[in-house]
């Protein structure tokens, strides 16, 4: 029996993990979110870890409001960096393995080919910087950890681009969506399945891994596909980042290379549009 702790369990990835883990009787999983344990509270985290033993903690908790983070640096840093340090210190004391999730926004977006794990990060936003600092603190305390950087996460739950587009598709006949930010959407269910492969693999391979769905898209491409698969009668017009200013700067290009995670864990990753269709079908129960 493998004992798992999932933090941020009410978020998109946490709920996607639960959907997979609930069918796996060999896993004993504890799910927690901020209502049960505020991860920024060091003594509460210490007490929590002292009271139970886990083989692996999967940290899905984060401050994910990328634009709000620009005005709330302290809160963002508490969750994306200090809370990771609290988990890492407790995990080191109890020899608990850690899987932590990070982001494509650690890169500056000036690449023209998919980012590999050893490419040099250069975050352009508070969110990206605090996530990178979270990675660093975890590597320092628990060098045997696994860090998975992912991008453009969406699911049936929470706030995400897919759900926003579905709503706008009902409310508007026409919208503009940026076409000069290129990346890859990631269905949280596929990331959860990859995490399942990692925890059930024969060997634990520490280090950083990149994971997204296969393929490349702009937010415009993503929006067009959402309207199509959700059967919304809403025209999507391509606009530039300059025409849609946001508080946080986002990378123009943040496609992640999945070569390392595919080779290490023998994963086959679905194309983003195939996964989008599945998620929309689940969400709208088409």
Ligand X SMILES: NC(=O)c1ccc[n+]([C@@H]2O[C@H](COP(=O)([O-])OP(=O)(O)OC[C@H]3O[C@@H](n4cnc5c(N)ncnc54)[C@H](OP(=O)(O)O)[C@@H]3O)[C@@H](O)[C@H]2O)c1
∠ CA 17-168-251, rounded to 5°: 65
Looking at beta carbons only, is 60 or 193 nearer to ligand X?
60
Q: Is 64 in the site for ligand X (CB under 6 A)?
A: yes
DSSP 16: H
Find the binder of ligand X among 4, 45, 61, 90 (CB under 6 A).
61
Looking at beta carbons only, is 231 or 244 nearer to ligand X?
244
Find the binder of ligand X among 3, 30, 33, 283 (CB under 6 A).
33
Nearest to 176 by CA among 249, 128, 239: 239
Binding-residue total with ligand X (CB under 6 A): 25
Handedness of CA 239, 244, 245, 249 (dihedral sign): negative
Question: Which residues, in sequence order, are CB contacts of 154 under 8 Å at separation 6+?
Answer: 12, 160, 161, 162, 163, 185, 186, 187, 188, 276, 279
Question: How do 217-218 and 182-183 pair as beta strands?
Answer: antiparallel
Q: How far is the CB of 233 from ligand X (least distance, A)?
A: 27
Q: Is 86 in the site for ligand X (CB under 6 A)?
A: no
52-66 CB burial, b ≥16 within 10 A, e <16:
eebbbbbbbbbbbeb
Binding mask 102-141 vs ligand X (x if CB under 6 A, - otherwise)? Answer: -x---------------------------x----------
Looking at beta carbons only, is 85 or 131 nearer to ligand X?
131
Q: Is 40 in the site for ligand X (CB under 6 A)?
A: yes
Instruction: Please give the torsion angle defined by the CA atoms of residues 126, 131, 136 and 139, in that order, rounded to the nearest 10 degrees.
Output: 170
* Burial label, 12 (beta-carbon count in 10 A; 0-12, 13-18, 19+): buried
Q: How far is the CB of 59 from ligand X (least distance, A)?
A: 7
Binding mask 145-174 vs ligand X (x if CB under 6 A, - otherwise)? Answer: -----xxxx----x----------------
Q: Which of 31, 63, 127, 154 is catalytic?
A: 127
**The length of the chain, given as a count of residues:** 286
Q: Is position 31 annotated as part of the catalytic site?
A: no
Which residue's Cβ has the minimum distance to ligand X? 11
Looking at beta carbons only, is 64 or 173 nearer to ligand X?
64
Find the binder of ligand X among 6, 79, 126, 162 (CB under 6 A).
79
Interface region with ligand X, contact rule CB under 6 A, candidates 11-19, 171-179, 252-260, 261-269: 11-19
Interface region with ligand X, contact rule CB under 6 A, candidates 33-41, 46-54, 114-122, 276-284: 33-41
Q: What is the longest distance spanned by two Cα atoms in the chain?
A: 56
DSSP calls for 146-200: EEEEE-SEE-SSSS-HHHHHHHHHHH-SEEEEE-S-EE--EEHHHHHHHHHHHHH
Q: How far is the CB of 1 from ligand X (least distance, A)?
A: 25
* Burial label, 267 (beta-carbon count in 10 A; 0-12, 13-18, 19+): middle
Looking at beta carbons only, is 81 or 141 nearer to ligand X?
81
Q: Which residues bind ligand X (CB under 6 A)?
A: 7-8, 10-13, 33-34, 38-40, 60-62, 64, 79, 83, 101, 103, 131, 150-153, 158
- Which residues belong to the active site? 127
């Amino acid at each position: 029996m493998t004992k798992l702790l999932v933090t941020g369990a009410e978020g998109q990835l946490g709920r996607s993990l639960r959907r997979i883990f609930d069918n796996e009787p060999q896993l004993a999983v504890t799910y927690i979110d901020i209502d049960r344990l505020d991860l920024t509270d060091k003594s509460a985290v210490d007490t929590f870890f002292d009271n139970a033993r886990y083989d692996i903690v999967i940290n899905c908790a984060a401050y994910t409001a990328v634009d709000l983070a620009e005005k709330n640096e302290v809160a963002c840093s508490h969750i994306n960096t200090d809370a990771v340090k609290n988990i890492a210190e407790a995990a080191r004391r109890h020899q608990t393995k850690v899987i932590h999730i990070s982001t494509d926004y650690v890169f500056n977006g000036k690449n023209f080919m998919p980012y590999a794990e050893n490419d040099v990060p250069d975050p352009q936003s508070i969110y990206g910087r605090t996530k990178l600092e979270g990675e660093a603190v975890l590597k320092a305390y628990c060098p045997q950890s696994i860090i998975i950087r992912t991008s453009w996460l969406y699911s049936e739950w929470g706030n995400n681009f897919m759900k926003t587009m579905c709503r706008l598709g009902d409310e508007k006949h026409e919208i503009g969506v940026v076409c000069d930010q290129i990346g890859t959407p990631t269905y949280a269910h596929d990331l959860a399945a990859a995490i399942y492969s990692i925890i059930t693999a024969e060997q634990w391979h520490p280090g950083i891994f990149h994971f997204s769905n296969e393929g490349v898209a702009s937010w415009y491409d993503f929006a067009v596909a959402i309207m199509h698969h959700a059967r919304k009668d809403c025209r999507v017009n391509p606009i530039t980042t300059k025409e849609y200013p946001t508080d946080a700067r986002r990378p123009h290009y943040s496609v992640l290379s999945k070569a390392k995670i595919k080779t290490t864990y023998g994963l086959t990753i679905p194309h983003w549009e195939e996964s989008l269709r599945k998620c929309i079908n689940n969400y709208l129960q088409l």
